[in-house]
Chain A
Amino acid sequence: MTQPKTFGPETLALHAGQSPDPAFGARAAPIYFTTSYVFPDTDHAAELFNLERPGHVYTRISNPTNAMLEERIAALEGGVGAIAVASGQAALHLAITTLMGTGGHIVASHALYGGSHNLLAYTLPRFGITTTFVDPHDPDAWRAAVRPETRLFFGESLGNPGLDVLDIPAVADIAHAHRLPLLVDATLVTPCLQRPLALGADLVLHSATKFLGGHGVAVGGLLVDGGRFDWEASGLFPTLTEPYDGFHGMDFAEESPIAAFLLRARREGLRDFGACLSPMNAFQILQGMETLPLRMRAHVANARKVAEHLAAHPLVAHVAWPGLASHRDHALAARLLPDGAGSVLSFELKGGRAAGRAFIEGLRVFSHLANVGDAKSLVIHPASTTHFRMSAQDLAAAGIGEGTVRLSVGLESVDDLIEDLNRGLYAAGRVVQG
């Protein structure tokens, strides 16, 4: 019996979404650096605006280079399509505003990237959208937080920076029992380590700035639709199931029962809020994605050695990396992240804030900056940088201590990384010893 052929992630990372350029045969992805596209005639123009033909009208809404990136991430994630936006934060904003307006409510894991926490806890309430934060490990907490006006569940595959593993199948089941979709931020795992849609999530977002690009030169975001959530059957999403005066009176779920979310997100959110991605950034992220599977394997291998080294060091109180048996979510990681728990980890230095400062200043190979997912190794002290807006109580709830150091383990020779960490630990030790 003929078995259907499916392409592996290495092939998709190189090819998905891109055919050789039909104009000149260019093998590399062309950068379509244009704001707009010439219409052959007025009829053709009208047909594009009426969605009688697919195609590009204006780069804020779609662009051929961006489309390659969108189709590549959709193929890697096993989704029906994607939208490229200006940043990971723009992807989160686009997902939320496509699904709800004022009065809407979100149930979110409390273990979130500081920027996402900020958007949900402080900024969106100003626009009438509120969030209840819950312990991602507590199924009853997710259930108890649901209200009649809830429209979305949200969590991170690996909660940054505590590295909590989200039990996607369990949380998705709870969401679906309430006719709600689950959005997962999979930035720290990438589709090479986990495909949240296959585990039950409905929407996936990435800060493409991180591992997808890998080079640290381009900010971008991606929002992927799994196409399984039945908006019509849910009955909770009038933005997708009732005519929209702002776009031809279109009922998006009638137009496309499967891709209604993407249709509305592009035709309203991207058009009106305007957080589009530059085609140059899309090109740069595409270049990074070509080597994503190779890089993620190397990231994970280095992270394991670094985590094991730190865990055995007398100056380290605790290492948080789900690949270690000591992590509370180790068994969950073995089930949901069998190819590795990423390469972001955090650890608690004995000696608190002063030791942390000495450690970071003693490093030469790790770069001290506010990012993760670069090919180069990175280090930061969350309490004074990425999470500085959070109260001490919120910090503690997210599993962050004053001496917590976060590492993004890169692709350097691992012996050099361990030597560098030893240098920092020696400096920290001198502080501890007084």
Chain B
Amino acid sequence: MELSVNDTPAYLYTGGRPFDRQLPVVVLIHGAGHDHSVWNYQARRLAHHGFAVLAPDLPGHGRSQGSPLPTIEALADWVEALLDAAGVVHAALAGHSMGSLVALQTAAQAPARITKLILIGSVAPMPVAPPLLEAAAHARDAAHGMINQWSYTPASQLGASPVPGISLTGLNQRLMERQRAGVLANDLAACNAYLGGLDAAARIAVPCAMLCGERDQMTPRKAVKPLQEALAKVPGGARMIVIKGAGHAMMAEAPDAVGDAMRGFLTSA
């Protein structure tokens, strides 16, 4: 569906079910250079099991109009504006990679609105390797190649895909190519520049799950620890869920395990 957010048309995928704001709302925020389609299976899973799903294309991405927003803070403001535009008072947030920083920042600046938080493939801060920043700005194809190599496990790059007949890395390559010029460079620069993640985490006081790919090279398990520890006010502490065998692109590599973890966490007390 389409909504006007800050007077600019924004596209939202609702998981194959009409959006019903009377149901518990969950917002799924994609990562750098991506769009809503990275959430296909998880969005459909939640939408068919009692949730109202909003998986936006962030500004300037996919079908959403406007320019890509240059900072994580600006993206968090946009998510708040999206909730307003959708008439949503309370929502759970889930984000992947860059989207996880947006979710974290949104939850920190709008604590009364956010009920639960799911951070997928998340670290804070999220420094981006200089060669990748450089390639994203000046040699997109090379940047796409690096992201594919570092986001998917060797088994995913060469072996069988969970989705019959689909090449996961081929699909991701084209999805990144489909985004407008400058989008990936903008997004990676926003990740790299966001230094408020640990402070934001310290203000989170709602249940939080962290999904980490067992073989994630982009945001490896060891690097997740500072963020997990900073989430000190989360009741019971942030729950770490390791997605077995998966890399950074875990929604694609392990769609069932990620869907199970998200649904389980969102339906738990």
Chain A residues close to B by CB (< 8 Å) = 1-7, 11-12, 15-19, 46-47, 50-56, 62-64, 66-68, 70-71, 74-75, 78-84, 226-228, 230, 232, 248-250, 254-259, 262, 266
Contacts and interface: CB of A to CB of B under 8 A. Distances in A.
B255 interface: yes
Contacts of A227: 170-171, 174
A206 to B, nearest CB: 14
How many B residues are at the interface, by size bracket?
35 or more
B40 A256 contact: yes
Given A18-B159, A257-B35, A80 B41 contact: no
Interface in B157-216: 157-167, 170-171, 173-175, 177-178
B170 A74 contact: yes
B44 to A, nearest CB: 4
B268 to A, nearest CB: 17
Nearest to A223: B165
A54 B160 contact: no
A53 B163 CA distance: 9
Contacts of B164: 54-56, 62-64, 66-67, 70
Nearest to B43: A52
B142 interface: yes
Given A1-B131, A54-B162, A258 B48 contact: no
A230 B174 CA distance: 11
B131 A15 contact: no
A67 B165 CA distance: 5
Contacts of A50: 16, 44, 48
B166 A230 contact: no
A365 B255 CA distance: 53
B52 to A, nearest CB: 15
14 contacts: A2-B131, A3-B145, A15-B158, A46-B48, A50-B48, A52-B259, A54-B256, A71-B167, A74-B166, A81-B166, A83-B165, A227-B174, A249-B16, A257-B178
Interface of B is mostly: helix
B76 to A, nearest CB: 25
Contacts, number: 133
Given A52-B45, A53-B255, A258-B37, A80 B149 contact: no
A15 B154 CA distance: 12
B23 interface: no
B146 A2 contact: yes
A50 B46 CA distance: 12
A47 B177 CA distance: 31
Contact of A255 (B16, B163, B166): B16
B170 A266 contact: no
Contacts of A18: 159-160
A256 B37 contact: yes
Contact of A266 (B165, B174, B255): B165
Contacts of B175: 257-258
Contacts of B40: 51, 255-256
A64 B166 CA distance: 12
B160 A68 contact: yes
B38 to A, nearest CB: 10
Contacts of B259: 52-53
Contact of A82 (B48, B148, B165, B256): B165
B165 A71 contact: yes
A331 B224 CA distance: 56
B134 to A, nearest CB: 8
Contacts of B89: none
A74 B170 CA distance: 8
B62 interface: yes
Contact of B44 (A51, A70, A78): A51
Contacts of A83: 165
Given A75-B170, A81-B171, A257-B62, A51 B41 contact: yes
A236 B30 CA distance: 29
Contacts of A53: 41, 45, 255-256, 259
Contacts of A255: 16, 37, 40
B159 A19 contact: yes
Most buried by A among B131, B160, B175: B160
Given A2-B146, A50-B16, A78-B170, A71 B131 contact: no
A5 B160 contact: no
B85 interface: no
Given A6-B145, A51-B16, A257-B178, 14 more contacts: A1-B131, A4-B142, A4-B148, A12-B158, A52-B41, A53-B255, A53-B256, A54-B162, A71-B160, A79-B170, A80-B167, A227-B170, A227-B171, A257-B62
A97 to B, nearest CB: 18
B155 interface: yes
A56 B158 CA distance: 20
Interface in B28-50: 35, 37, 40-41, 44-45, 48
Most buried by B among A5, A248, A256, A258: A258
A47 B45 contact: yes
A92 B18 CA distance: 36
Given A4-B148, A19-B159, A53-B256, A257 B165 contact: no
A67 B160 contact: yes
Contacts of B162: 54-55
Contacts of B174: 80, 226-228, 258
Given A52-B44, A52-B45, A71-B165, A17 B170 contact: no
A55 B259 CA distance: 14
Contacts of B41: 51-54
